[in-house]
């Protein structure tokens, strides 16, 4: 399994409890796909650099996760289907150099 980092921006009209539920649901989906969540960082509400879907700010959350390579496309599709997520950035983390 490869390690990935996921940055998610949720709609600002959600309250903190709803955001926590969405993050928990994402974690459950990762486990369901045979992966694991290494860490979750809720960064709170931040102003966006530019307007996305008529929103000027959003709730940011970053996750470090491991996921089987054959499940990545399906997981990204699940993220796109969520109405409460306005933007995601999903990237593979590089292996640390042994220097």
Which band of pLDDT confidence, cut at 50, 70 and 90, is reported for residue 99?
Answer: low
2-36 burial: b if 16+ Cβ within 10 Å, else e: eebebebbbbbebeeeebeebbeebbebbeebebe
Contact 67, 90 (CB under 8 A): no
Contact 50, 87 (CB under 8 A): no
Is pLDDT of 97 > 60?
Answer: no
Which pTM value belongs to this model? 0.86
pLDDT tens, position by position, 2-38: 899 999 999 999 988 999 999 999 999 999 999 999 9
What structural domains does the chain harbor? Answer: 2-92 (3.30.70.60)
């Amino acid at each position: 399994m490869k390690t990935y980092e996921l940055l998610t921006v949720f709609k600002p009209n959600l309250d903190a409890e709803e955001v926590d539920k969405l993050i928990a649901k994402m974690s459950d989906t990762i486990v369901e796909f045979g992966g694991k969540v290494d860490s979750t960082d809720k960064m709170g509400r931040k102003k966006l650099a530019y307007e996305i879907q008529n929103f000027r700010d959003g709730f940011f959350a970053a996750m470090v996760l491991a996921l089987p390579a054959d499940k990545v496309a399906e997981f990204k599709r699940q993220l796109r289907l969520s109405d409460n997520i306005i933007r995601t950035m999903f990237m593979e983390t590089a292996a640390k150099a042994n220097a």
